[in-house]
Amino acid sequence: MQIAIDGPASAGKSTIAKLVAKKLGYVYCDTGAMYRTVTLMALRSNVAPDDAVKVTALLPQLELKFVPTADGQLVYMNGEDVSLAIRQEDVTNNVSAVSAIPAVRTDLTQRQRDIAAEGNIVMDGRDIGTTVLPHAELKVFMVASVAERARRRFLDNKEKGIDVSIATLEEEIAARDHKDSTRATSPLRQADDAILLDTTSMTIDEVVAKIMALHAERER
Ligand code: CDP
Ligand code: CDP
Protein backbone atom coordinates (compact mmCIF):
# COMPACT_ATOMS: atom_id res chain seq x y z
CA MET A 1 0.00 0.00 0.00
CA GLN A 2 1.26 3.45 -0.91
CA ILE A 3 -0.04 6.62 0.76
CA ALA A 4 0.87 9.91 -0.95
CA ILE A 5 0.47 13.16 0.98
CA ASP A 6 1.03 16.37 -0.95
CA GLY A 7 0.38 20.01 -0.23
CA PRO A 8 1.94 23.41 0.40
CA ALA A 9 4.47 24.32 3.11
CA SER A 10 3.43 23.82 6.74
CA ALA A 11 0.07 22.24 5.95
CA GLY A 12 1.04 19.51 8.43
CA LYS A 13 2.15 16.86 5.93
CA SER A 14 5.24 15.55 7.70
CA THR A 15 3.70 15.62 11.19
CA ILE A 16 0.69 13.64 9.98
CA ALA A 17 2.62 11.33 7.62
CA LYS A 18 5.00 10.37 10.43
CA LEU A 19 2.14 9.54 12.82
CA VAL A 20 0.16 7.58 10.21
CA ALA A 21 3.28 5.60 9.23
CA LYS A 22 3.94 4.78 12.87
CA LYS A 23 0.36 3.60 13.46
CA LEU A 24 0.40 1.41 10.37
CA GLY A 25 3.99 0.17 10.69
CA TYR A 26 4.79 1.66 7.27
CA VAL A 27 8.04 3.32 6.19
CA TYR A 28 7.88 7.13 6.15
CA CYS A 29 9.68 9.09 3.43
CA ASP A 30 10.03 12.88 3.71
CA THR A 31 10.83 13.97 0.15
CA GLY A 32 11.12 17.63 1.19
CA ALA A 33 14.11 16.60 3.31
CA MET A 34 15.75 15.27 0.15
CA TYR A 35 15.33 18.59 -1.72
CA ARG A 36 16.57 20.38 1.39
CA THR A 37 19.68 18.17 1.52
CA VAL A 38 20.60 18.97 -2.08
CA THR A 39 20.09 22.66 -1.24
CA LEU A 40 22.38 22.39 1.79
CA MET A 41 25.00 20.69 -0.36
CA ALA A 42 24.81 23.51 -2.93
CA LEU A 43 25.08 26.25 -0.28
CA ARG A 44 28.04 24.55 1.38
CA SER A 45 29.75 24.11 -2.01
CA ASN A 46 29.24 27.82 -2.81
CA VAL A 47 27.06 26.87 -5.76
CA ALA A 48 24.17 29.24 -6.53
CA PRO A 49 20.87 27.37 -5.91
CA ASP A 50 19.60 28.30 -9.36
CA ASP A 51 22.77 27.24 -11.21
CA ALA A 52 21.28 24.12 -12.82
CA VAL A 53 24.56 22.86 -14.30
CA LYS A 54 26.59 23.15 -11.10
CA VAL A 55 23.84 21.85 -8.79
CA THR A 56 23.30 18.86 -11.10
CA ALA A 57 27.04 18.11 -11.04
CA LEU A 58 26.85 17.67 -7.25
CA LEU A 59 24.25 14.88 -7.40
CA PRO A 60 26.56 11.90 -8.14
CA GLN A 61 28.53 12.78 -4.99
CA LEU A 62 25.42 12.77 -2.80
CA GLU A 63 24.80 9.76 -0.61
CA LEU A 64 21.43 10.31 1.07
CA LYS A 65 20.20 8.09 3.87
CA PHE A 66 17.19 8.10 6.20
CA VAL A 67 17.57 6.42 9.58
CA PRO A 68 14.27 5.79 11.40
CA THR A 69 14.01 6.86 15.06
CA ALA A 70 11.22 6.46 17.65
CA ASP A 71 9.51 9.72 16.62
CA GLY A 72 10.60 10.22 13.04
CA GLN A 73 13.85 9.90 11.20
CA LEU A 74 17.36 11.32 10.88
CA VAL A 75 18.71 12.49 7.54
CA TYR A 76 22.31 11.71 6.61
CA MET A 77 24.25 13.44 3.84
CA ASN A 78 27.44 11.55 2.99
CA GLY A 79 27.56 10.09 6.50
CA GLU A 80 26.84 13.38 8.32
CA ASP A 81 23.62 13.86 10.33
CA VAL A 82 22.11 16.98 8.68
CA SER A 83 18.62 16.65 10.20
CA LEU A 84 18.86 20.06 11.90
CA ALA A 85 21.00 21.83 9.29
CA ILE A 86 18.43 21.25 6.52
CA ARG A 87 15.74 23.10 8.54
CA GLN A 88 17.71 26.38 8.75
CA GLU A 89 16.21 29.50 7.17
CA ASP A 90 18.88 29.79 4.45
CA VAL A 91 18.01 26.30 3.22
CA THR A 92 14.26 27.01 3.45
CA ASN A 93 14.63 30.20 1.43
CA ASN A 94 16.68 28.56 -1.34
CA VAL A 95 15.05 25.14 -1.64
CA SER A 96 12.41 26.17 -4.20
CA ALA A 97 15.14 27.28 -6.63
CA VAL A 98 16.95 23.95 -6.32
CA SER A 99 13.75 21.92 -6.60
CA ALA A 100 12.82 23.67 -9.86
CA ILE A 101 15.88 22.15 -11.60
CA PRO A 102 14.58 19.27 -13.78
CA ALA A 103 17.71 17.08 -13.36
CA VAL A 104 17.42 17.37 -9.57
CA ARG A 105 13.79 16.22 -9.77
CA THR A 106 14.65 13.27 -12.02
CA ASP A 107 17.43 12.13 -9.68
CA LEU A 108 15.40 12.47 -6.46
CA THR A 109 12.24 10.97 -8.01
CA GLN A 110 14.24 7.82 -8.81
CA ARG A 111 15.61 7.65 -5.27
CA GLN A 112 12.04 8.07 -3.92
CA ARG A 113 10.69 5.28 -6.13
CA ASP A 114 13.52 3.00 -4.99
CA ILE A 115 12.54 3.59 -1.36
CA ALA A 116 8.85 2.98 -2.17
CA ALA A 117 9.72 -0.26 -3.96
CA GLU A 118 10.84 -1.75 -0.64
CA GLY A 119 7.27 -2.04 0.76
CA ASN A 120 4.37 -0.21 2.41
CA ILE A 121 5.06 3.50 2.50
CA VAL A 122 3.75 6.91 3.49
CA MET A 123 5.48 9.55 1.37
CA ASP A 124 4.95 13.30 1.63
CA GLY A 125 5.95 16.13 -0.68
CA ARG A 126 4.59 18.19 -3.55
CA ASP A 127 4.41 15.79 -6.51
CA ILE A 128 4.03 12.35 -4.94
CA GLY A 129 0.47 11.72 -6.14
CA THR A 130 1.03 13.32 -9.55
CA THR A 131 4.54 12.14 -10.51
CA VAL A 132 6.46 9.98 -8.04
CA LEU A 133 3.76 7.42 -7.12
CA PRO A 134 0.91 8.00 -9.61
CA HIS A 135 -0.62 4.61 -8.67
CA ALA A 136 -0.69 5.22 -4.92
CA GLU A 137 -3.84 3.65 -3.41
CA LEU A 138 -4.47 6.68 -1.20
CA LYS A 139 -3.66 10.25 -2.19
CA VAL A 140 -4.31 13.19 0.11
CA PHE A 141 -3.86 16.83 -0.85
CA MET A 142 -3.46 18.65 2.45
CA VAL A 143 -4.03 22.39 2.64
CA ALA A 144 -4.48 25.11 5.28
CA SER A 145 -4.79 28.89 5.08
CA VAL A 146 -1.56 30.91 4.78
CA ALA A 147 -2.32 32.59 8.13
CA GLU A 148 -2.72 29.25 9.91
CA ARG A 149 0.41 27.83 8.28
CA ALA A 150 2.45 30.88 9.31
CA ARG A 151 1.07 30.54 12.85
CA ARG A 152 2.13 26.87 12.95
CA ARG A 153 5.62 27.65 11.67
CA PHE A 154 5.92 30.52 14.17
CA LEU A 155 5.16 28.14 17.06
CA ASP A 156 7.61 25.58 15.63
CA ASN A 157 10.31 28.26 15.40
CA LYS A 158 9.63 29.47 18.93
CA GLU A 159 10.35 25.99 20.27
CA LYS A 160 13.65 26.02 18.40
CA GLY A 161 14.53 29.53 19.60
CA ILE A 162 14.20 31.03 16.09
CA ASP A 163 12.67 34.52 16.05
CA VAL A 164 10.93 35.41 12.76
CA SER A 165 7.71 37.47 12.78
CA ILE A 166 4.41 35.97 11.65
CA ALA A 167 4.18 38.62 8.91
CA THR A 168 7.58 37.58 7.50
CA LEU A 169 6.61 33.91 7.68
CA GLU A 170 3.38 34.64 5.80
CA GLU A 171 5.39 36.33 3.06
CA GLU A 172 7.92 33.48 2.89
CA ILE A 173 5.19 30.83 2.75
CA ALA A 174 3.24 32.67 0.05
CA ALA A 175 6.43 33.14 -2.01
CA ARG A 176 7.33 29.44 -1.72
CA ASP A 177 3.74 28.40 -2.60
CA HIS A 178 3.95 30.55 -5.71
CA LYS A 179 7.35 29.18 -6.81
CA ASP A 180 6.36 25.56 -6.11
CA SER A 181 3.04 25.82 -7.97
CA THR A 182 4.28 27.70 -11.02
CA ARG A 183 7.52 25.83 -11.85
CA ALA A 184 7.54 23.98 -15.18
CA THR A 185 8.55 20.52 -13.89
CA SER A 186 6.18 18.68 -11.53
CA PRO A 187 4.57 21.73 -9.96
CA LEU A 188 2.61 21.49 -6.73
CA ARG A 189 -0.82 20.38 -7.91
CA GLN A 190 -3.65 18.25 -6.59
CA ALA A 191 -3.82 14.90 -8.44
CA ASP A 192 -7.21 14.24 -10.04
CA ASP A 193 -7.79 11.27 -7.75
CA ALA A 194 -6.48 12.93 -4.55
CA ILE A 195 -8.74 13.75 -1.62
CA LEU A 196 -8.63 17.40 -0.58
CA LEU A 197 -8.20 17.85 3.16
CA ASP A 198 -8.32 21.37 4.61
CA THR A 199 -6.67 21.17 8.04
CA THR A 200 -7.01 24.89 8.91
CA SER A 201 -9.27 24.18 11.85
CA MET A 202 -8.39 20.54 12.47
CA THR A 203 -6.20 19.21 15.27
CA ILE A 204 -3.37 16.81 14.50
CA ASP A 205 -5.36 13.92 16.00
CA GLU A 206 -8.38 14.73 13.82
CA VAL A 207 -6.27 14.73 10.66
CA VAL A 208 -4.59 11.44 11.58
CA ALA A 209 -7.99 9.86 12.32
CA LYS A 210 -9.35 11.04 8.98
CA ILE A 211 -6.45 9.51 7.05
CA MET A 212 -6.64 6.27 9.03
CA ALA A 213 -10.33 6.05 8.10
CA LEU A 214 -9.57 6.66 4.41
CA HIS A 215 -6.85 4.01 4.57
CA ALA A 216 -9.22 1.50 6.21
CA GLU A 217 -11.78 2.12 3.43
CA ARG A 218 -9.15 1.25 0.83
CA GLU A 219 -8.08 -1.92 2.57
CA ARG A 220 -11.61 -3.30 2.45
O1 CDP B 1 8.40 21.35 5.48
P2 CDP B 1 8.12 22.39 4.45
O3 CDP B 1 6.68 22.49 4.15
O4 CDP B 1 8.81 23.66 4.66
O5 CDP B 1 8.69 21.91 3.09
P6 CDP B 1 9.33 20.57 2.70
O7 CDP B 1 8.28 19.54 2.56
O8 CDP B 1 10.49 20.29 3.59
O9 CDP B 1 9.82 20.90 1.24
C10 CDP B 1 10.79 21.90 1.00
C11 CDP B 1 10.75 22.30 -0.47
O12 CDP B 1 11.18 21.20 -1.26
C13 CDP B 1 9.41 22.71 -1.02
O14 CDP B 1 9.13 24.08 -0.82
C15 CDP B 1 9.57 22.39 -2.51
O16 CDP B 1 10.23 23.44 -3.18
C17 CDP B 1 10.50 21.20 -2.50
N18 CDP B 1 9.82 19.92 -2.69
C19 CDP B 1 9.49 19.55 -3.97
O20 CDP B 1 9.70 20.32 -4.90
N21 CDP B 1 8.95 18.33 -4.22
C22 CDP B 1 8.71 17.48 -3.22
N23 CDP B 1 8.19 16.26 -3.50
C24 CDP B 1 9.01 17.84 -1.89
C25 CDP B 1 9.56 19.09 -1.66
O1 CDP C 1 5.31 19.01 6.51
P2 CDP C 1 4.62 20.33 6.45
O3 CDP C 1 5.52 21.45 6.10
O4 CDP C 1 3.39 20.32 5.60
O5 CDP C 1 4.08 20.67 7.90
P6 CDP C 1 4.60 20.20 9.33
O7 CDP C 1 6.01 20.58 9.47
O8 CDP C 1 4.23 18.78 9.57
O9 CDP C 1 3.64 21.03 10.28
C10 CDP C 1 3.93 22.33 10.71
C11 CDP C 1 3.46 22.51 12.14
O12 CDP C 1 2.03 22.51 12.19
C13 CDP C 1 3.93 21.44 13.11
O14 CDP C 1 4.46 22.10 14.24
C15 CDP C 1 2.67 20.72 13.52
O16 CDP C 1 2.70 20.32 14.86
C17 CDP C 1 1.58 21.76 13.29
N18 CDP C 1 0.27 21.20 12.94
C19 CDP C 1 -0.85 21.61 13.60
O20 CDP C 1 -0.73 22.42 14.51
N21 CDP C 1 -2.11 21.16 13.28
C22 CDP C 1 -2.27 20.29 12.29
N23 CDP C 1 -3.48 19.86 11.97
C24 CDP C 1 -1.12 19.87 11.58
C25 CDP C 1 0.14 20.36 11.92
The total number of structural domains in the chain stands at: 1
Tens place of pLDDT for every residue, the chain, 220 residues? 999 999 999 999 999 999 999 999 999 999 999 999 999 999 999 999 999 999 999 999 999 999 988 878 899 999 999 999 999 989 999 999 999 999 999 999 999 999 999 999 999 999 999 999 999 999 999 999 999 999 999 999 899 888 899 999 999 999 999 988 998 988 999 999 999 999 999 999 999 999 999 999 998 7
Alpha helices (runs of H) in 100-183, residue ranges in sequence order: 102-116, 146-160, 166-182
Q: Between β-strands 27-30 and 80-81, what pairing exists: parallel, antiparallel or unpaired?
A: unpaired
CA of 160 to the centre of ligand 2 (A): 14
Q: What CATH number is associated with residue 8? A: 3.40.50.300
This prediction has a pTM of 0.95
How buried is residue 98: exposed, middle or buried, by Cβ count under 10 Å (0-12/13-18/19+)? buried
Range of the domain at 104: 2-212
Q: Is residue 54 assigned to a domain?
A: yes
Q: 56 and 103 in contact (C-beta within 8 Å)?
A: yes
CA of 13 to the centre of ligand 2 (A): 7
